[in-house]
Structure 1
């Protein structure tokens, strides 16, 4: 059920290989940022689904952005649920944390949070552009605060 290729709303691709012991291995290719080439992923999933067919199956994995092309000095984790709709459509709905390497004084600013939905179908260029405009282009909160005008 989890095995195979998945795409998120920004066009990033992952290949999941579930193991008998609830382990996950695979590959992740990011469509955003400065990530080059393919990165190894590792994770876990609940291999004993809930009795309720509408309930999701818990899943989580981690990717450290280091390969032969680049060491970005950051690690991302995804945690979420795998769902199958009544029509058989599969999706993985997740929240992610991306931790960047920083100096101790900047640790408070070193982690980003977001969400991804993975499906079996690669999104169209128009859908990727829309998702990109809604998420990737968001300003950093410090930039918003710096440019805020005082209320009268």
Structure 2
């Protein structure tokens, strides 16, 4: 009986570690907000988020894209923050930051700040603020159709 005690202790310890790992949710995947903008997030092991973002709304009147990097705290209903450095020519020099929390497995409640490049004289109007709610998409962002074109996340096919 005593010879099984170390094995039982190891199994219990592994069970506890396994249970605690399953609590954390992940932001990895495709997300869309109420305006049809999409975030494709890939989670790196250390909690670093990387991906790309496509905004359906901009002063350019066409979708604009940018690189996404951020961090996720691996807890139940994780908190996170990410920055998008806009790479589209018409909004180059601007960055947007989002911070928020994941609720359930399919809702990201966020607040954001958009900073545009400006002169000191126009500094007062160079930062905008807002809120977004992102929903997980069923369709995978960044996947391609048969013709090689990129398929964007369809807001009408949100996760439940």
Aligned to 1:62: 83
Aligned to 2:106: 90
Unaligned residue ranges in structure 2 (runs of 5+): 1-25, 138-153
2:79, 2:102 within 8 Å by CA — same for their partners in 1?
yes
1:36, 1:70 within 8 Å by CA — same for their partners in 2?
no
Q: TM-score, normalised by structure 2?
A: 0.65
Aligned to 1:27: 52
Q: In proportion to residue count, which structure has more helix?
A: 2
Unaligned residue ranges in structure 1 (runs of 5+): 51-55, 125-152
2:129 is aligned with 1:113: yes
2:65, 2:87 within 8 Å by CA — same for their partners in 1?
no
Matched residue SS, 1:104: coil
Hey, what's the Cα distance between the residues in 2 that align with 1:12 and 1:27? Answer: 11
Q: TM-score, normalised by structure 1?
A: 0.68
Matched residue SS, 2:92: strand
Aligned Cα RMSD in Å? 1.7
Q: What is the number of equivalent residue pairs in this alignment?
A: 113
Task: Decide whether aligned partners of structure 1 residues 37 and 102 sit closer, same or farther in structure 2, where only a CA change above 3 A counts.
Answer: closer
Hey, what's the Cα distance between the residues in 1 that align with 2:116 and 2:91? Answer: 11
Hey, what's the Cα distance between the residues in 2 that align with 1:74 and 1:38? Answer: 11
Hey, what's the Cα distance between the residues in 1 that align with 2:91 and 2:125? Answer: 20
Q: In proportion to residue count, which structure has more strand?
A: 1
Alpha-carbon deviation of 1:72? 3.0
- The match for 1:44 among 71, 76, 80 is 71
Q: Which moved further from structure 2: 58-67 or 30-39?
A: 30-39
Hey, what's the Cα distance between the residues in 1 that align with 2:113 and 2:64? Answer: 20
Alpha-carbon deviation of 1:123? 3.1
